Amino acid sequence: MCELLGMSANVPTDICFSFTGLMQRGGETGPHRDGWGIAFYEGKGLRDFHDPEPSCDSEIAQLIKNHPIKSKTVISHIRQANVGEICLENTHPFTRELWGYTWTFAHNGQLDAKLFDLPVSFYKPVGTTDSEYAFCWLLGEVRRAFPERPDDFAEVSALIARCADQLRELGVFNMLLTESEYLFAYCTTKLAWITRRAPFGKASLTDAELTVNFREETNTTDVVTVIATEPLTDNEEWTALAEGEMITFMDGEPVRFS
């Protein structure tokens, strides 16, 4: 299985602390040695990095760990391959354009071969993973139902949840998906989240000897939510998503569609 990491914040924020923990699981404290990737949004712009090498040994991962790229929405993934060879085109997260926005997707799990019976039309996979195929099908369903970006995202969120439910019937489907503003987190087996806001405190990583006092790094109005396959810290209370649950985040807060 792979591992996911996402962030939604109300102000541009770096993810160096959380990524430091995640990258250790890419071959050091975990078995996910088959590539990694990360995508940072700057408005509608996207800055993304991919490497088919283990993140614990990757010089590119070291750059991300040490260089504070600030973003309001981030998706990252470390891979333990099951479908598709280890190569750059099979490295998450995957991206496609819709409505003039770059959508980014990462998946943890494995889906039955019946997945490939689902029709893909506008979006075609570049690689050979079940994950990318699922993304192409899902985003194609969104495009078919909404040729133009709607003002109200409630129906879009509901459609994505229905598509995720359908994919969950084919196996394990834990997902992070965003178009830059909304971050959709869907759980089949493992996905947890934590929201940090004032009064901020200290957090200690589980996978590395690193503690940060967020009170020294933030303003009192900052809101930052981090989503991960497994909690990244050992001194904070994370909330686990239930099986079949999807939460949509925007500006660090869960979105309550009416």
- 44, 90, 107 from 113: Cα distances, Å: 34, 17, 16
Is pLDDT of 104 > 90?
Answer: yes
Sign of CA dihedral 52, 58, 59, 62: positive
Q: What is the pLDDT of residues 53-67, one digit of tens each?
A: 888 778 888 888 888
User: Residue 28 has what pLDDT?
Assistant: 67
Task: Render pLDDT for 183-216 as a digit per residue (tens, 0 to 9).
Answer: 999 999 999 999 999 888 889 888 777 788 888 8
Please tell me whether residue 175 adopts helix, strand or coil conformation: strand
CATH 3.40.228.10 at 3-254, yes or no: no
Taking alpha carbons only, the member of 178, 81, 187, 168 closest to residue 127 is 81
* Residue 77, CA distances (Å) to 82, 169, 199 in order: 14, 22, 29
What distance in Å separates the CA atoms of residue 258 and residue 250, rounded to the nearest whole number? 15
Band (52; pLDDT cuts 50, 70, 90): confident
For the chain, which residues make up each domain, given as ranges?
A: 3-254
**Residue 83 pLDDT > 80:** no
Nearest alpha-carbon partner for 214 in 228, 197, 227, 231: 197
- Please state the rounded mean pLDDT for residues 73-79: 92
Please tell me the distance from the alpha carbon of residue 14 to that of residue 19, in angstroms, as a whole number: 9
Would you say residue 124 has pLDDT above 70?
yes
Residue 56 designated active-site? no
Alpha carbons within 13 A on the beta-carbon side of 18: 28
- The residue from 2, 56, 136, 187 that is catalytic is 2
pTM of the full structure? 0.95
Residue 133 has pLDDT above 90, yes or no: yes
